[in-house]
Structure formats: structure tokens, C-alpha cells
Amino acid sequence: MNIHVINGPNLNLLGKRQPEIYGSQSFEEYFEELIGQFPDHKLTYFQSNHEGALIDALHGCGFDENTAAVINPGGYTHTSIALADAIAGIEISVVEVHISNIYEREEFRHQSYLKPNCAHSIVGQGLDGYRQAVEWLLAEKS
């Protein structure tokens, strides 16, 4: 299976930004570990701070056979109807991931516009949430 991991704004700062919330490991370091955990599958990674680029990434893989996506939309979780619509408009399964538990943080973070259009949602599991998302997608497809 091809699994596209798509990260939104500020996730390029993992390992530097608020390590007490997001940890001290960069996503690039973690992604190499993640690839090693799933050697029989093709994992790709894309990150952008721009909403349109995230939508383009979803559209780019959203109709491919044997494909799924994991998305951490960052702050766009709570604001982007356009990303929610992009997920609703594609054919592949998408799992939403949040490193921190958005439901235990500031009230404005409790709303996810994407969650209703995602196949599954994982919150508050740290970077391990990405592994859990990949495992969920593989189990769904088997």
C-alpha cells in the first residue's frame, strides 16, 4: 500500500517548537523510523505551511488505487472548511492525527472540521499516533 503522510503548518518545527507539548524529535527523524516499521509499504511525506498546497497534495493522491493518507492539519484543523471539503471529495481513506490531545487544550482547538470526513482520528498519542494511523489503514484495507 502507498501511504501519504501530510503535515500542515508549523509541523516543520517539530523538535524545536514547544517540546513540552510536541516532543524533541524532528518529524524527519521520526519519519525514517516509521518507514523502517513498514518495509512492505511505500510511505511518502509532504509538509506545507500553506493550505492550498495541502489541498493539492490530497487531490494528487486522492484517486490512486492502493493508496491512503495520514494528515495532521495543524491549526487548519480548527479553521479549514476547504481541507474538509478536499477530504470529502477524494476517494481514499484519510486518518487525521494530532500529536497532542486537542480536546484537552484550549477550547478553540476542540473543533475539528476535518474529523467528520476522515475515516478515523487519533489524538494525543505523540508521534506514535502516526504509526497507529498507518496500522489502522493497513487493517482497514486487509
pLDDT digit string (tens) for 106-127?
788 889 999 999 999 999 999 9
> What is the per-residue pLDDT for 140?
95
Instruction: Name the active-site residue from 4, 98, 113, 130.
Output: 98
How many independent structural domains does the chain possess?
1
What is the pTM for the complete model shown?
A: 0.94
The predicted pLDDT at position 17 comes to 85
Question: What pLDDT, on a 0 to 100 scale, did the predictor assign at position 73?
Answer: 98
Q: Report the Cα–Cα distance between both ends of the chain, in Å, rounded.
A: 10
Is position 110 annotated as part of the catalytic site? Answer: no
User: What's the confidence (pLDDT) of residue 18?
Assistant: 82
pLDDT tens column, 52-105: 999 999 999 999 999 999 999 999 999 999 999 999 999 999 999 999 999 888
Comparing 93 with 21, which gets the higher pLDDT?
A: 93
Active site residue 22: yes
Q: Which residues of 54-78 are buried (b: 16+ CB within 10 A; e: fewer)?
A: bbebbeebbeeeebbbbbbbbebbb
Catalytic residue among 22, 30, 45, 76: 22
Say yes or no to pLDDT of 12 above 90: yes
Q: What is the CATH number of the domain that holds 123?
A: 3.40.50.9100
Can you give the residue range of the structural domain that contains 133?
A: 2-141
